[in-house]
Copies of this chain bind each other. A is one copy, B any other.
């Protein structure tokens, strides 16, 4: 039995514009051979940095392109010595990397600034790591009101924010919200994104927009890490952008993912209504499942694996024992329907505590 993966936070192969990327890689290397095949600027391929700068309306000197945005996270963290606050739950890698961190809890409207503010009153400089849109692992999006409040806290200098926004453009419904970076006019907000979800993760092209003086500082850190990031892949991304392939591809990808999300929501409605609670993301890759109180998601995973379904238990992200992250990005709608059905059969017919 082939395992249906709700674990893998990656796009299905059919989301990847393989032929277009292949053509772009060839064209990019032919167009700019020496610049893409020699060592280049430590902060990234210049024409791509310029494209990103234009898009975000910042000076090009603030743009740092990296081999994926996790690498950017390392670079940014290397420059900061205060405490770090993360959402609970949040993306597991930062949790593992940080070692020590504080947590602010999350509800259906994202993290609560009212819980955050008292944490800032003492304890020294703090950096908030947040994924405001289609959060990993919950799929939750921070409301506009809360965004405005967070941006104020940053602009007032009470907080620094690392806004991780890999999923923002992968929206299926609803209206886009302003980023924290936009709302604070970049004051004390570092913005991170990538082309992993909008073109392909294997290209490993992420970026971060930082203050110009920090970008300068990072040059030496980057050079000492890997001399120069891979430029061929960055030039390939730029070629894809220049050809106007980005928007139509994104629309196609959003269509494919919307169908997957719909299949998962429909499956959950029909199988688990009354017995579980789940988020209803307007985009991204994930939704968050809260199972009946007393359910152990780790134990459930072991039983699910036996029937050919995988997911990531919530505790990996700092969530409660009865929670789970379900990725709808990888499996097909038919597989999702089947997988949810298999999974639901393993869930006790009890009511989660949040619904009582």
Q: CB within 8 Å of B: which residues of A?
A: 10-11, 13, 16, 18-19, 21-23, 25-27, 29-30, 33-40, 67-68, 70-71, 74, 93, 96-97, 200-204, 223-233, 236
Complex Cα–Cα for A182 and B74 (A): 36
| A23-B26, A25-B29 given; A37·B202 CB < 8 A | yes
Shortest CB-to-CB span from A266 to chain B, Å, is 26
Question: What are the residues of chain B within 8 A of A33 when measuring CB–CB?
Answer: 13, 16, 18, 21-22
Complex Cα–Cα for A225 and B66 (A): 11
Q: Verify A71–B225 contact, CB threshold 8 A.
A: yes
Q: A22-B30, A37-B202, A68-B226 are in contact. List 9 more A-B contacts (CB 8 A).
A: A10-B38, A13-B33, A21-B232, A22-B26, A25-B236, A38-B201, A68-B227, A204-B227, A204-B228
Complex Cα–Cα for A180 and B109 (A): 60
Minimal Cβ-Cβ distance residue in B for A97? B224
Question: What are the residues of chain B within 8 A of A40 when measuring CB–CB?
Answer: 202
Shortest CB-to-CB span from A337 to chain B, Å, is 23
Chosen A-B contacts, 16 in total, with CB atoms closer than 8 Å, are A10-B38, A18-B29, A21-B29, A22-B29, A23-B26, A25-B26, A35-B202, A37-B200, A67-B229, A68-B228, A93-B223, A93-B224, A97-B224, A203-B230, A232-B233, A233-B233
Q: Verify B34–A16 contact, CB threshold 8 A.
A: yes
Question: What are the residues of chain B within 8 A of A67 when measuring CB–CB?
Answer: 67, 204, 226, 229-230
Shortest CB-to-CB span from A20 to chain B, Å, is 10
Contacting residue for A226 out of B10, B26, B70, CB 8 A = B70
Question: What are the residues of chain B within 8 A of A93 when measuring CB–CB?
Answer: 223-224, 227
Shortest CB-to-CB span from A214 to chain B, Å, is 20
Complex Cα–Cα for A16 and B38 (A): 8
Contacting residue for A232 out of B19, B25, B30, CB 8 A = B25
Question: What are the residues of chain B within 8 A of A22 when measuring CB–CB?
Answer: 25-27, 29-30, 33
Minimal Cβ-Cβ distance residue in B for A11? B38
Question: What are the residues of chain B within 8 A of A203 when measuring CB–CB?
Answer: 37, 230, 232
Shortest CB-to-CB span from A219 to chain B, Å, is 13
Minimal Cβ-Cβ distance residue in B for A30? B22
Complex Cα–Cα for A19 and B34 (A): 11
Shortest CB-to-CB span from A119 to chain B, Å, is 26
Complex Cα–Cα for A217 and B231 (A): 28
Q: Which 3 A-B pairs have the closest CB atoms?
A: A18-B33, A22-B29, A37-B200
Question: What are the residues of chain B within 8 A of A34 when measuring CB–CB?
Answer: 13, 16, 18
Contacting residue for A37 out of B35, B201, B230, CB 8 A = B201
Shortest CB-to-CB span from A21 to chain B, Å, is 6
Shortest CB-to-CB span from A305 to chain B, Å, is 21
Q: Verify B38–A30 contact, CB threshold 8 A.
A: no
Complex Cα–Cα for A22 and B71 (A): 26
Shortest CB-to-CB span from A182 to chain B, Å, is 27
Minimal Cβ-Cβ distance residue in B for A200? B37
Q: Verify B10–A39 contact, CB threshold 8 A.
A: yes
Shortest CB-to-CB span from A67 to chain B, Å, is 5
Question: What are the residues of chain B within 8 A of A68 when measuring CB–CB?
Answer: 226-228
Complex Cα–Cα for A22 and B34 (A): 12
Complex Cα–Cα for A41 and B78 (A): 26
Question: What are the residues of chain B within 8 A of A233 when measuring CB–CB?
Answer: 230, 232-233
